[in-house]
A = this chain, B = another copy of it.
Amino acid sequence: MLLESAYGKARVRLVQLTRRADRHDLRDLTVAIRFQGRYEESYIAGDNTGVLATDTMKNTVYALAAESRSDHPETFGLMLVKHFLDRNPPLEEVRVDLIERGWARIRSAGREDPHAFIGRGPDVRSARVIASRERTTVGAGVTDLLILKSSRSAFTGFIRDELTSLPETTDRILATSLTATWQYRSTSLDFGLAWGLVRQTLLESFAAHDSASVQHTMYAMGEAVLARVEDVAEIHLVMPNKHHLPVDLTVFGLENRNEIFVATDEPYGLIEATIAR
Interface residues of A (CB under 8 A from B): 1-19, 24, 26, 28, 32, 34, 39, 42-56, 58-60, 62-63, 65-67, 87-88, 103, 106-109, 113-119, 121-122, 145-152, 155-159, 161-166, 173, 203-204, 206-208, 211-216, 218-219, 234, 240-241, 244, 247, 249, 251-254, 257-277
Contacts and interface: CB of A to CB of B under 8 A. Distances in A.
Nearest to A241: B54
Contacts of A58: 267
Nearest to A122: B121
Contacts of A259: 16-19, 66
A10 B263 contact: no
A260 B66 contact: yes
The interface centre, meaning the residue of A6, A163, A260 with most chain B CB atoms within 10 A of its CB, is: A163
A273 B165 contact: no
A103 B163 contact: no
A270 B8 contact: yes
Contacts of A49: 157-159
Contact of A260 (B47, B65, B244, B254): B65
Given A55-B269, A65-B260, A108-B208, 13 more contacts: A15-B260, A16-B261, A17-B261, A19-B259, A42-B216, A53-B158, A54-B241, A106-B203, A115-B149, A115-B207, A116-B149, A116-B150, A118-B203
